[in-house]
Amino acid sequence: MTLFGRRNVLLAMFVVAAVTPFLVNDYYLFIANTILIYVLLSIGLNVLVGYTGQLAFANAAMFGIGAYTTGLLQVRLGWPFWLAFPSGAVIATAVGLAISLPALRLKGLYLAVSTLAFAQFTQWAFLNWETVTYGAGGFKTPPISFAPLPFSKEIGLYYLSLLFVVVLFVLAQNAVRSRFGRAFVAVRDSEIAAQSLGVDLLRYKALAFGISGFYAGIAGGLYSALLNFVSPEGYDLFQMVLQKSMIVVGGLGSIVGSILGAGAIVVILEALRAVKGVQEIAFGAILVGFVLFMPGGIAGFLKAKLRGWEEPLHRTQGGRPPPSTLVTPSEKSEVRS
């Protein structure tokens, strides 16, 4: 009955992901690795936007900060990748926490605008703080080595990314099913009620920003290693639009949705290379199509159509109207779903 339930589908996707390096050429392995990196970005962003309801636009900047920190620590200070990479994640997390400070006072569009301003400032720093960032031209990072493991850089990095995706997916999935996930959704659905139940708004908003920063920082470090190159345009506004489309297409408030959305968007963009010239228009049309015909994203669609895709929080389907001593017949007819 639940053959195509979430667990089985995820397992199948994991098996496919695990054997991919043996089946495809370098180019497709690069695409597959890109998907893994975007999965990390989307999971973090979904915690912040989908679960906690914070309309923030700083994720691409935090992605960039992760990539720049990882790259610059290697190039400028000669740190090994294995030290620079976690440092990048720590710095991105710290930046995420820092930009959450004004977020307690700012809501909706004001938060959107202030985080956009932060993102533009970061972009400006990447471009113009040349003595540190090498400016618009970017810089090359040293190729990383997996010795003594018997992997090429491409395959090693792919499995490292897959490892992060599996671990960080499970951690996020557990977190959103706990009192933390409930606190996030409480903040999203009613700040005033969340507070009156003892949920500290600043603390949980900061936590959500910190989590998205951490995921973006990990993704940034991996991305810098994947490209062996860091430059400002990878972390601009279009990058932000891309990540937002992934969580919308995958399903806001669904960790699995983040996986599906990231995969779908990268594949769609690749497919659209065939129609160069009208690529942007076609991409826009596809996004509009998703928003119109799949308002709950792919995850919401699967939840409605297949068994075994229910998730804690965000359940859209209820059972039949149950009897209750306190419910009148007129109320029962009201709650039909």
Partner 1 sequence: MTAPLLSVRDVSVSFGGVKVLDGINLDVKPGEIRGLIGPNGAGKTTMLNVISGIHPPHHGDVLLDGASIVGRKPSDIARLGLGRTFQTSQLFRGMTVLENLMTGLHHRTSSGLLAACFNTRRHQEEEEATKEEARQALEFIGMSAFADRPGSALSFGQQRVIEIARTLIGSPKVVLLDEPAVGLSLNRLAEFDLLLRRIRDEKGVTLILIEHVIRLVMDVCDQVTVLSSGRRIAEGSPDTVRNDAQVIEAYLGKELRARHPAS
Q: Nearer to partner 1 by C-beta: 197 or 278? A: 197
User: Which one among 175, 227, 241, 282 touches partner 1, defined by CB under 8 A?
Assistant: 175
Q: Smallest distance from the beta carbon of 132 to partner 1, in angstroms?
A: 33
- Within 13 Å, how many C-alpha atoms sit on residue 142's CB side? 16
What's at 195, amino acid-wise?
Answer: Q
Nearest to 33 by CA among 168, 173, 227: 227
Residues in the interface with partner 1 (CB under 8 A) total 46
Give the end-to-end CA distance of the chain in Å, rounded to a whole number: 23
197 touches partner 1 by CB under 8 A: yes
318 touches partner 1 by CB under 8 A: yes
313 touches partner 1 by CB under 8 A: yes
307 touches partner 1 by CB under 8 A: no
244 touches partner 1 by CB under 8 A: no
User: Which one among 125, 171, 269, 272 touches partner 1, defined by CB under 8 A?
Assistant: 171
Contact of 144 with 81, CB cutoff 8 Å = yes
Q: Smallest distance from the beta carbon of 206 to partner 1, in angstroms?
A: 12
Task: Give me the residues paired with residue 229 across strands.
Answer: 140
Choose the binding region for partner 1 from 12-20, 83-91, 189-197, 264-272 (rule: CB under 8 A).
Answer: 189-197
**H or E element in which residue 139 lies:** strand 139-140
Nearest to 212 by CA among 34, 39, 41, 35: 41
Q: Smallest distance from the beta carbon of 315 to partner 1, in angstroms?
A: 5
| Residue 140, SS3 per DSSP | strand
186 touches partner 1 by CB under 8 A: yes
User: Which one among 37, 43, 183, 298 touches partner 1, defined by CB under 8 A?
Assistant: 183
Unique residue bearing structure tokens 């209820």: 318
Q: Smallest distance from the beta carbon of 169 to partner 1, in angstroms?
A: 11
80 touches partner 1 by CB under 8 A: no
193 touches partner 1 by CB under 8 A: yes
Cβ neighbours of residue 81 closer than 8 Å, sequence gap 6 or more: 70, 74, 142, 144, 225
Q: Nearer to partner 1 by C-beta: 149 or 304? A: 304
DSSP string of 224-281? Answer: HHHHTEE-GGGGSHHHHHHHHHHHHHH-TT-HHHHHHHHHHHHHHHHHGGGGTTSHHH
276 touches partner 1 by CB under 8 A: no
**Interface residues toward partner 1, by CB under 8 A:** 171-172, 174-175, 178-180, 182-183, 185-186, 188-190, 192-201, 207, 253, 312-319, 322-328, 330-331, 334-335, 337
